[in-house]
């Protein structure tokens, strides 16, 4: 019994030193790149103001290129006299936009996966529908968004009015990369493994879930990492024709009107929008780390 206990495999440490070092290097690299970009911004602005640089109609000054510390600092200033801090307003706006983007992202991912699976199993469907799927992405989203709002809003229940149509716009930007990469991943399966499954008379649904989907996971997550920030962009753009004032799109439109007197607020809103897109990307990246490493081909 004692021998069996001593032969048991040792449990891996809770904090793998290699992963800790890798995370530390990533954080240091991120901070270094951030410092370089900050220096380039401030340096270009300082040189442009010193030599009176003009690039066409663009002139570096406090209106066109506010100081980075002013942009960050304005987040912690009242949005109006005796009003809440700007960061509080933008936090609520970001949560509202995140709800629209998340629903659109999930909807677009599901539709994209279903379309990709259908196209992967039928060459006839590929030849018939793929050109139209590609053509759908050549139409500017600014032209599509008002039409979607007009078409979809009257058909939504009261609880989904307006923001539901925005979620559909976010889904429109999400489904295309998921469709293409799903189709590519499902058709990249090892022919020998496929032949083995067929030799056992495995039904198509079992071949799909046991063989094709695990093989396609890296392709699918690559598409999701592209689609996640795109869903945020779609939600922000969709808020404009829907006349939604609660999200980041409404905040951008509002602060754009006061850009001449307070450009830092618009830049700060853009910063929060960028951070929201990065958050969506990181969530997909985390899901990829959890799912792909547990796929059958990665289990030792």
pLDDT tens-digit readout, 44-76: 889 888 888 888 778 888 888 899 999 999 999
Sign of torsion, CA 163 167 168 170? positive
| Residue 147 contacts residue 140 (beta carbons within 8 Å) | no
**Structural contact between residues 173 and 141, judged by C-beta atoms closer than 8 angstroms:** yes
Comparing 45-54, 110-119, 258-267, which segment has the lowest mean pLDDT?
45-54
Q: What is the pLDDT of residue 142?
A: 84
Residue 178 has pLDDT above 80, yes or no: yes
Question: What mean pLDDT is reported for the chain?
Answer: 86
Helix (H, G, I), strand (E, B) or coil at 58: strand
Per-residue tokens: 143: 């032209």
Percent over 70 (pLDDT), the chain: 92
Q: What is the pLDDT of residue 182?
A: 93
pLDDT computed for residue 113 by the predictor: 94
Handedness of CA 238, 242, 247, 252 (dihedral sign): positive
What pLDDT does 244 receive?
86
Question: How much is the average pLDDT of 9-37?
Answer: 77
pTM value?
Answer: 0.85
Residue 221's pLDDT is 95
What is the number of alpha carbons within 13 Å of residue 269 lying toward its C-beta?
Answer: 23
Q: How far apart are CA 27 and CA 23, in angstroms?
A: 6
Grade residue 283 by pLDDT with cuts at 50, 70 and 90.
Answer: very high
- 25: its two tokens: 């290097």
162 close to 244: Cβ distance less than 8 angstroms = yes
- Mean pLDDT, rounded, for 280-292: 91
Tell me the per-residue pLDDT of 186-197, one tens digit each, with 9 for 90 and over: 888 888 887 787
């Amino acid at each position: 019994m004692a021998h069996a206990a001593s032969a048991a495999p040792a449990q891996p440490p809770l904090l793998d030193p290699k992963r800790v070092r890798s995370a530390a290097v990533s954080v240091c690299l991120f901070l270094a790149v951030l410092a370089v970009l900050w220096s380039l911004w401030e340096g270009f602005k300082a040189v442009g103001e010193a030599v009176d640089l003009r690039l066409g109609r663009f002139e570096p000054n406090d209106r066109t290129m506010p100081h980075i510390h002013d942009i960050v600092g304005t987040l912690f200033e009242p949005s109006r006299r005796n009003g809440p801090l700007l960061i509080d307003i933008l936090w609520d706006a970001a949560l509202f936009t995140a709800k629209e983007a998340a629903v659109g992202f999930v909807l677009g991912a599901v539709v994209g996966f279903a379309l990709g699976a259908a196209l992967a199993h039928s060459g006839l469907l590929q030849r018939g529908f793929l050109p139209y799927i590609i053509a759908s992405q050549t139409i500017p989203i600014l032209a599509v968004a008002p039409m979607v709002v007009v078409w979809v809003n009257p058909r939504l229940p009261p609880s989904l009015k307006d923001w539901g149509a925005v979620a559909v716009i976010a889904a429109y930007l999400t489904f295309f990369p998921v469709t293409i990469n799903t189709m590519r991943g499902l058709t990249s399966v090892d022919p020998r493994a496929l032949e083995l499954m067929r030799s056992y008379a495995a039904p198509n649904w079992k071949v799909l879930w046991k063989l094709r989907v695990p093989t396609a996971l890296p392709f699918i997550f690559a598409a999701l990492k592209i689609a996640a920030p795109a869903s945020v962009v779609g939600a922000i753009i969709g808020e404009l024709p829907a006349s939604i004032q609660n999200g980041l799109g409404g905040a951008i439109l509002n602060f754009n009107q006061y850009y001449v007197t307070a450009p830092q607020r618009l830049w700060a809103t853009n910063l929060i929008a960028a951070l929201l897109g990065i958050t969506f990307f990181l969530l997909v990246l985390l899901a990829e780390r959890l799912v792909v490493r547990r796929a059958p081909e990665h289990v030792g």
